[in-house]
Amino acid sequence: MTAGTAGAAHTQRIREFKMPDVGEGLTEAEILKWYVKAGDTVADGQVVCEVETAKAAVELPIPYDGVVHALHFDEGTTVDVGTVIIAVDTDPGAGPVGEAPGEAAAPAEEDDAEPQGRQAVLVGYGAAPSSTKRRARKQQPGVPAQSEPVTAGLQAELNGRSAPAPATTPVAVPVAPAAPAAAVPVAERPLAKPPVRKLAKDLGIDLATVVPTGPGGVVTRDDVYAAAAPAEAAAPAAPEVAVPTAVAPVTAFDAARERRVPVKGVRKATAQAMVASAFTAPHVTEFITVDVTRTMKLVQELKQDPDLAGLRVNPLLLVAKAFLVAIKRHPEVNAAWDEATQEIVYKDYVNLGIAAATPRGLLVPNIKDAGAKTLPQLATELGELVATAREGKTSPAAMSGGTVTITNVGVFGVDTGTPILNPGESAILAVGAIKLQPWVHKGKVKPRHVTTLALSFDHRLIDGELGSKLLADIAAILERPKRLITWG
């Protein structure tokens, strides 16, 4: 058997499973738990690990039969999409696995066993290697290898920086003939993560003109901001630089009594989304305090209704229904802002998001076509949605496509708040705690169940009059829930 034949057989025997793109173009995932170890037998379709993306926890099935040859990463490690995470010996009866001839000299990232293009790692998943793996620079045919200082100088020139000074003892390098312009790899797409690309687009910066400072030539957010800053701001006056004579005070930390937790997964994605929403959509928040005594009585009656037996009936259910009816009366609020085309997109469906606090952070799954559902259907889906979110099993699809959201801060005893919009949505309704308070009812002060509602909305889509009418209608329905029938 030749070395080439042995290498091919070895490659076909050891199958490597790469981290798939398990949700809407995400670039990385954290390995939460391995369900197998080296030496375990696995079957096609068997779940081998659980990973957490920026959106949800997902279980990954292996697409091979065989024995686990190696686990490449420990639990708690964040891995880029397209990186090999587990290797499976698909022919364990052939004896011990040995290194194929010539294999040690090959780069670890080059794997020709799988076809080019998308790798079928999961049904509906798979990441193109070119989008998740950086290609190693190859030596041009006929061009001698360059010394390290010359290579660094060429790379610096390509990045728009001046070449570093040569070493004291220069290394003689043969001069290669000038290559054609088409052979210089300057037209490659700049390396940058999706949030950085969006930032550059928003600021009107061409990434090809930005000098990268991140590891491996990756463009960072700071690089984009530096490119967007005015030229005069980049060169402050000399006196301003020389004036400080004392070292700036350093924040003191007491490491013995402090804990540091890396921000990643759902919590990191939530933080980024909230910052983007707060500084992109102009928020307006309005408040109204309403007597919901009749709604609370209706909740108690519905709990005794045989048609709703076994379903979770609570005030949130009727608040959700009131929100949906109010949107039906004012359909213009159910819209989205398309920045790319400078258009308002009006939607004839309502995907109602419900903010749920989970051990992994805040999740906002939504009920698809909630406006078309009956009260029992709404109660069923609301209960399933919250239970699934608290278990951390919400799928990425369940958290995409929302149009409006409800956040129930009242369960924590909070009266009200100023909620931030879920990115891409037009409005979010915060429901405060329902408490017995003195209230003027029919000319007399009586104890009544009262709550405060807060509605935040995108002022690009909803003006003050429309937002006020929507909030007033929600309050009117909760004050007199019979309007669910007359208005619905």
pLDDT digits (tens, 9 = 90+) for 239-278: 454 545 555 555 666 788 888 877 776 667 777 777 878 7
Do 218 and 269 lie in a common domain?
no
Q: Is residue 60 part of a domain?
A: yes
Q: Is residue 148 part of a domain?
A: no
Do 329 and 465 lie in a common domain?
yes
Indicate if the pLDDT at residue 55 is higher than 80: no
Q: What is the pLDDT of residue 159?
A: 46
Q: Kindly list the catalytic residues.
A: 459
244 or 81: which leads in pLDDT: 81
Beta strand 57-61 with 47-52 is: antiparallel
With contact defined as beta carbons under 8 Å apart, do 281 and 460 qualify?
A: yes
Do 200 and 315 lie in a common domain?
no
Residue 34 and residue 50: Cα distance in Å, rounded? 7
What DSSP element (H or E) covers 228? helix 221-228
Q: How many beta carbons lie within 10 A of that of residue 164, not counting itself?
A: 11
Is 479 exposed, middle or buried, given 0-12, 13-18 or 19+ CB atoms closer than 10 A?
A: middle
Is 190 exposed, middle or buried, given 0-12, 13-18 or 19+ CB atoms closer than 10 A?
A: middle
Which residue matches tokens 């801060």? 409
Domain count within the chain: 3
Least reliable range by pLDDT among 165-174, 292-301, 312-321, 376-385: 165-174
Q: Is residue 348 part of a domain?
A: yes
Q: Closest Cα partner for 90 from 56, 113, 111, 59?
A: 113
pLDDT digits (tens, 9 = 90+) for 270-291: 777 778 787 788 899 999 999 9
Do 63 and 200 lie in a common domain?
no
Indicate if the pLDDT at residue 449 is higher than 80: yes
Indicate if the pLDDT at residue 97 is higher than 80: no
Q: Among 112, 129, 146, give the residue marking a domain's end.
A: 129
Indicate if the pLDDT at residue 110 is higher than 50: no
Do 125 and 223 lie in a common domain?
no
What is the mean predicted confidence (pLDDT) over 216-235? Answer: 70
Do 125 and 218 lie in a common domain?
no
What is the mean predicted confidence (pLDDT) over 354-363? Answer: 83
42 or 8: which leads in pLDDT: 42
45 or 114: which leads in pLDDT: 45
pLDDT digits (tens, 9 = 90+) for 402-424: 999 999 999 999 999 999 998 89
The helix/strand/coil state of 209 is helix
Indicate if the pLDDT at residue 123 is higher than 70: no
Q: Is residue 387 part of a domain?
A: yes
pLDDT digits (tens, 9 = 90+) for 150-205: 444 444 444 444 445 544 444 444 444 444 444 444 446 677 777 777 788 878 88
Q: How many beta carbons lie within 10 A of that of residue 291, not counting itself?
A: 20
| Residues in CB range of 92: below 8 A, 6 or more apart | 66, 67
Q: Is residue 256 part of a domain?
A: no
Indicate if the pLDDT at residue 440 is higher than 90: yes
With contact defined as beta carbons under 8 Å apart, do 217 and 191 qualify?
A: yes
Average pLDDT for the chain: 78
Do 210 and 63 lie in a common domain?
no
With contact defined as beta carbons under 8 Å apart, do 472 and 323 qualify?
A: no
Q: What is the pLDDT of residue 126?
A: 41
Do 196 and 280 lie in a common domain?
no
Do 377 and 437 lie in a common domain?
yes
Q: What is the pLDDT of residue 193?
A: 76
148 CB-side CA count, 13 A = 2
Give the structural domain span for 206: 191-232
Do 222 and 276 lie in a common domain?
no
Q: Is residue 357 part of a domain?
A: yes
What is the mean predicted confidence (pLDDT) over 207-224? Answer: 83
Do 269 and 226 lie in a common domain?
no
- In this prediction, residue 210 has a pLDDT band, given cuts at 50, 70 and 90, of confident
Q: Closest Cα partner for 18 from 43, 51, 42?
A: 51
What is the mean predicted confidence (pLDDT) over 203-211? Answer: 82
- Could you say which DSSP state residue 225 is in? H
Q: What is the CATH number of the domain that holds 383?
A: 3.30.559.10
Question: Hey, which residues does 51 pair with through a beta bridge?
Answer: 31, 58
Do 14 and 112 lie in a common domain?
yes
45 or 215: which leads in pLDDT: 45
The helix/strand/coil state of 189 is coil
Q: What is the pLDDT of residue 395?
A: 81
Residue 292 and residue 449: Cα distance in Å, rounded? 6
